[in-house]
Amino acid sequence: IVQKNKHIRLLLQIHDELVFEIDDTDKAEMNKLIQAIHELMTHIYTLSVPMDVDIKIGPRWGSLEPFTSVE
């Protein structure tokens, strides 16, 4: 869903952080994209310890908030 979607782009990688840009889309589609990113990053590689993935969203880097769902 993430690789084939024209509404999302990987903009930047800073150490272990990835910054994506998601075009304005309906809230259900945005929630689906964010959940797909979380699922992908959580299970991208099998480790002996669980992978902790935090997702934050916002219009600017300085105003990011933890993701629960897009309202």
Most distant CA pair in the chain, distance: 37
Per-residue confidence of the chain (71 residues) as pLDDT tens digits? 556 677 788 889 999 889 988 887 788 888 888 888 888 888 888 889 888 889 999 888 889 999 887 66
What is each CA distance from 32 to 10, 38, 39, 50, in whole angstroms? 16, 10, 10, 22
